[in-house]
Structure 1
Amino acid sequence: MKLPVSGRATVTAVVAAATLFATGSIAGAAPAPEAGALAAAPDIPVANVKAHLAQLQSIATANGGNRAHGRTGYKASLDYVKAKLDAAGYTTVIQQFTSSGRTGYNLVADWPGGDTGRVVMAGSHLDSVTAGAGINDNGSGSAAVLEAALAVSRAGYQPAKHLRFAWWGAEELGMVGSRYYVNNLSAANRARISGYLNFDMIGSPNPGYFVYDDDPAIEKTFKDYFTGLGVPTEIETEGDGRSDHAPFKNAGVPVGGLFSGADYLKTAAQAAKWGGTAGRAFDRCYHSSCDTTANIDDTALDRNADALAYAVWTLSS
């Protein structure tokens, strides 16, 4: 998640040539399922999500300690995610842009099938700050979105709506990648997106359970899941306008998402309801070198990854 700053990064478009972005559809997509053919969302194995985080940590360690925009660690992270998706049967497109004099990349993956006039998207930013590996911010969201996408493939899921997953570049510079993507969609293709779900910092070590309240239907979907777990939630306010849902919301796309807290302090009331330590930040390693694989709460990561899958399945059926 980006720091709250007033300035906006300058973006110069370089490459965006792909049928996916021009038409919003995939040639040769599989047919939609029969009416009423609903499937239950799978449990997302937290061990699989953590294995992706270990890979992202290794990538950062081998590339100067970070996975920041324009650095080798970011491109290696994107290549890792893309290879997993390609092997799982996704149609992947890399979208290239320039920001702060460096080349950036978005990765967009479409699952063949479903009504391309009704697209459900789930996304996360893949870049870190230069200070560290960015494992909670935002390896956690990126790994969970990846594992949910792989679960779609494993299940052979064929929803009524079309599924699209995305990993954004240069979020830490001002949601640059996601803003570039949205700005380069035609009005018709923006209108085809029935919902964008954002996952930014979902494994904070002193976690809260925060749900975006931007769209009532999406908000209810997430709240219903956590109610079923007996886990209370609160409305997300710390990250308003500070993550990749903002460009979609500004363009009129319904948005929602999950968040487990950044540098705000957990209150006594929140500690009483969620556990953890009152008076301590939800993530003491926010934008710091200590945001490593040791900076993750497994329970929060597991619950949020499962909630992510539940929302994807529910909203796309």
Structure 2
Amino acid sequence: MEAIATKPESSLAQRWNTLLQEQPKLRIRNAAQQLGVSELELLLTRDQGVRPLRHEFGALLCDMDDVGDVMILTRNDQVVHEVTATFNQFKVAGKGAMGLAVGDIDVRVFLNQWAYGYLVTENTGQINRESLQFFSTYGLALHKIYKTEATDSAAWDALLGNYLDNSSTAPQLAPVPAKASRVDANTVDVDALRNDWAKLKDVHHFHAMLKRNKVDRRTALELVGSEWVTRLKPSAQDVLSPLDAILAQAKASQCAIMVFVGNPGIVQIFAGKVDRLMRTGPWMNVLDKGFNLHANTDGIKDWFVVRRPSSDGTITSLEGYNTDGEIVITLFGDRKPGNPESADWQREVEVLESSLCA
């Protein structure tokens, strides 16, 4: 963090207040970036409305079933993914390091990255909005769960009674590490990579394959060849991003899709059809009941169509990467394990490639 992060808390709070007067709609994540601190540091300058949770986050998520509908939010710097639904049988695995829910709420959680959690109460001017917010050891916001009008208030309050921590001390945040550098392509055995890629039987084995070949995902896409990867470009009008195009196609054809968005602590997934699409400046939005997506496509530098073999046939994805080479959004055709990919999705991707092939 910059030296600004070590200034007295009151000074940071005052500077945040000044920033909000200049930019009343500024989100806390963006305010933290402008002030050179983590989101958690900024959140903790509030005099009230922030109460710590016990560090039992896996158990807390397992107990979410009875609460009813909540809105869950996962984001990275380029994409915000929101789903409103009910948790169903969240399970913890990997000796507590991982967890998942599969259903209307579909998440893969890396609990070893979750260091701090808080109940946050915000006065919106009309109501008090409550959320559970979870952060990394660096103060990065990983995931948020919002109480909605459909949430069972008694069950929500009972949950809070079990997990609020009245003895918690102030967090000791670690310095943010430098971003991992890309692998030097000259050090990669390209023939071995291509051979291993062609032998994939399950898309879930993809990360292990990359690790075995000592290559990061973004570099692998550049090296594996056109049989498996197509790089896309914006339209000639320089208006339409590949995301705009594929969402418009999926809406028109009623092709069900899956949208994955993640950060170091979680991957959040939506599966279904999209309808209400809206472009607002750099942001491409899906504004459907139960699912909202907000993608700042100006910050998504590279788009690829990626194909991987599996025992169910070829699996095709559209992947977006930021300027650091980090994947920030992935789209698939809606598919259950053991079933082949839908022909509808394959056709939509082929149309996309024909119009936006680099």
Length-normalised TM-score, structure 2:
0.23
Tell me: higher relative CO, structure 1 or 2? Use CA pairs within 8 A at least 6 residues apart: 1
Higher strand share: 2
Higher helix share: 1
Q: State the structure with more CA Rg.
A: 2
Length-normalised TM-score, structure 1:
0.26
